[in-house]
Amino acid sequence: MTDKKMSPSMDLWLKEAKEDPQASNVGMFLVHNGTVRQTPKAQVRQGIDDGTVVQQLTFSYDEEKVQKAIEETYALDGIFYVRVWLNEGLLDVGDDIMYVLIGGDIRPHVIDGLQYLVEIIKTQCVVELEHKV
């Protein structure tokens, strides 16, 4: 089992993003920070409460699929900057699962880009196994 990673610095990420050659096209950045929660996914998404809570989460991802999703996000209208960090291994409640930074020209494009990329990552690129008690 791979050990969990150290979370990145958003201050550093934003500094680097603003130094990117495409930065002059960006009017907005959005950051998504997914974390391990104690409420099981089935309860949050489907309203199924089996009385358990998540104690830990085993998390892994397919790097090639993530890269493809990033490339697809760059093809969206108004998206000029994308950066993704994914954790891995056995994670505790409160640990960071992912960070996604999107930069684009206007708010609707950036919101759409962030929603698109996070949805693809969560539904096609990662495996999450909840350990419940």
pLDDT tens sequence across 18-29: 999 999 999 999
Domain, as residue range, for 85: 22-132
pTM value is: 0.94
At 4, the pLDDT band (50, 70, 90 cuts) reads confident
Tens digits of per-residue pLDDT, 55-73? 999 999 999 999 999 999 9
Task: Kindly state whether residue 120 falls inside one of the protein's structural domains.
Answer: yes
- CB 15: neighbour CB atoms within 10 A? 10
CB contact set of 68 (below 8 Å; sequence gap of 6+) = none
| CATH number (domain holding residue 105) | 3.90.1170.40
- CB 108: neighbour CB atoms within 10 A? 12
CB contact set of 10 (below 8 Å; sequence gap of 6+) = 31, 99, 101
Q: Which residues are registered as beta bridge partners of 98?
A: 34, 86
Tens digits of per-residue pLDDT, 93-128? 999 999 999 999 999 999 999 999 999 999 999 999
